[in-house]
Amino acid sequence: MRLISVVVPVYHNAASLRDLVVRLDELARSQPEEFEYVFVDDGSRDDSYQVMEELARANPRVRAVKLARNFGSNAASSAGIFCARGDAVVAISADLQDPPELIGEMLERWRAGYKVVLAARASRKDPWLTTVTANLSWKFLRRMAIPSMPPGGCDFCLLDRLVLDVLRETHEPSAGLGMVLWTGFEPAIVHYHRQERAQHYGRSMWSWSKKITYLIDTFVSFSHLPIRAASVLGVALATLGFAYAALVTFSVIFLNARYVHSWASVMVAILVVGGAQLLMIGLLGEYMVRTLEAARRRPPFVIERVFQVDAADDPARHERHAIAGPIEPRAVGRENVA
């Protein structure tokens, strides 16, 4: 029987985990495949991991993965994906804004032969500022970097094992969904309404700084536009400079013109050219720092512990181990830590 892995990155989501497992169990009972839930604690400072272990003790489908520190949402999802044993892996957030019941429809598309199934937001019930900025960000990425990106954005997706094997060979941990679309597998799109975050689940830890970082990472990973724009700006400034120098030379030699040297005009020229140069250096730096990260080949995540109760094991046995990813998913899948 085929296995479906549901990967859930967790960061300060202790309040919603029990409700999420209840809804996932209801879904699993209605599907012909077996299910496992891989919860990945991304360095939470609340009791998220304790709740994960409690759920793992009570439910054999649950596997609790603890990262050594906070590596970020993309890295946590990658850790869960590479720990998953399933023939297909579904990545979903822990706050229940994305409905787990939609996984059933996504599985239908997967059974029909699609290797990638994206749950795209047709609408969202979020604060107006969040909605506006998110829509603008996704439209910007779609137009400037990833044309195949769904218009409303997407974090909720299903990937076949074949796609996961391709992604495991890449070394771009910050690329996120863009890397999935880059593979070229035709995605099936399932539209849904993103729910409002329930107040008793706490506030979102997806801060503005993280959103901006994600936007820059995705844009730089899949677009050469900034570098080309910097080149065009440099050519334009150089052309203007040469044209002005030619005009001054012609005026002095042939028209006997006298130019009054002005401190203000000199400062304006210096500030404009200097600002353009610094902008270009900054753009180059964004690309170079990511090249440096890739060259270092540091693992995108470090797993401190994997916890899962297996009826065949001694429930009193508890082991700790550290794994630096990427890792072989099926090898980790065979290690039941109880």
pLDDT, tens only, 84-138? 999 999 999 888 888 999 999 999 999 999 999 998 887 766 666 777 777 777 7
Q: What is the mean pLDDT of the chain?
A: 78
For residue 259, the model assigns a pLDDT of 59
**146's tokens:** 């990833």
For residue 2, the model assigns a pLDDT of 92
For residue 54, the model assigns a pLDDT of 93
Across 1-15, 198-212, 276-290, 295-309, the highest mean pLDDT is recorded for 1-15
Total residues found in the chain within this entry: 338
* ∠ Cα 182 144 178 (to 5°): 25
- Between 284 and 317, name the one with better pLDDT: 284
Which DSSP state fits 149? S
Which DSSP state fits 197? P
Strand (E) or helix (H) holding 138: helix 128-144
Q: How many CB atoms lie within 10 A of CB 287?
A: 14
Question: Percent of the chain at pLDDT above 90?
Answer: 25
pLDDT tier, 198 (very low <50, low <70, confident <90, very high otherwise): low
Find where tokens 């990833």 sit. 146
C-alpha to C-alpha distances, 196 to 23, 97, 218, 312, nearest whole angstrom: 17, 6, 25, 41
Mean pLDDT of 22-34: 94
pLDDT tier, 171 (very low <50, low <70, confident <90, very high otherwise): low
Burial 1-35 (b: 16+ CB within 10 A, else e): eebbbbbbbbbbbbbbbeebbeebeebbeeeeeeb
* pTM strictly above 0.75: no
For residue 315, the model assigns a pLDDT of 41
For residue 317, the model assigns a pLDDT of 36
Mean pLDDT of 19-36: 94
Q: In this predicted model, what pLDDT tens digit does every residue of 297-328 receive, in sequence order?
A: 777 788 888 888 764 444 433 444 444 444 44
For residue 336, the model assigns a pLDDT of 40
pLDDT tier, 242 (very low <50, low <70, confident <90, very high otherwise): confident
Q: How many whole angstroms separate alpha carbon 207 and alpha carbon 212?
A: 9
For residue 124, the model assigns a pLDDT of 65
C-alpha to C-alpha distances, 80 to 46, 74, 194, 239, nearest whole angstrom: 20, 10, 23, 52
- Between 117 and 270, name the one with better pLDDT: 117
Q: Is 267 a residue whose pLDDT tops 60?
A: yes
Mean pLDDT of 134-163: 78
Find where tokens 């044209």 sit. 243
194 beta partners? 124
